[in-house]
Amino acid sequence: MMTTDPFALFDSWFAEAQASEPNDPNAMALATVGGDGQPSVRMVLLKGHGPEGFVFYTNRESRKAGELGEGAKAALLFHWKSLRRQVRIEGPVSQVSDAESDAYFASRSRDSQLGAWASDQSRPLDARGTFEARYEDVGARFEGSEVPRPPHWGGYRVTPERIEFWQDRAHRLHERRLFVRHGDSWSEGLLYP
């Protein structure tokens, strides 16, 4: 029988991390797998969360986006060193709506908006100056107007099927709580450390 809602527990831990982590408490490792079976992991920033899933944004022509195609699954990892805690999340991935992507893009700084237009994320770059020149060109293009969301940029949502909460304990006798989704409900259990 589940004694705790995993999303309420995540909210509590995340609030503590926001109060204690010196940098980017919303940073999470995103693990994907390419069509060749090669795993890949990188840090991204959590930009929304709740029972429907955990949301981040990126260039949809990047390597990670290519690995998040139809039917893809992903894993997320939050590591809050100051709290000696981790949260692991696994589940299928879907794109967020255009309206949700538009709303988040509009909340970004203008420089970040321009950067989204200027970057061919994950593609080879001949020289840093090339990217900087593209950034300046995009700035001139949108001078005096709002910067719209590029059509190749948007959000992804990982809908959790498994959420594990790991708490460091003395003598490496750590506590691991695992929540597993079963349709619309969750089961909870413990794992050996």
Catalytic residues: 172
Tracing tokens 């982590």 back to the chain, one arrives at 21
**Token output for 158:** 């990982």
To which residue do tokens 């060193």 refer? 81
Q: Give me the residue label for tokens 């909210």.
A: 11
Instruction: Give CA–CA dist 143/122, Å, rounded.
Output: 27
Tokens (6 digits) for 108: 């970004």
Cβ-proximal residues to 27 (8 Å cutoff; 6+ apart), any chain: 43, 44, 45, 46, 78
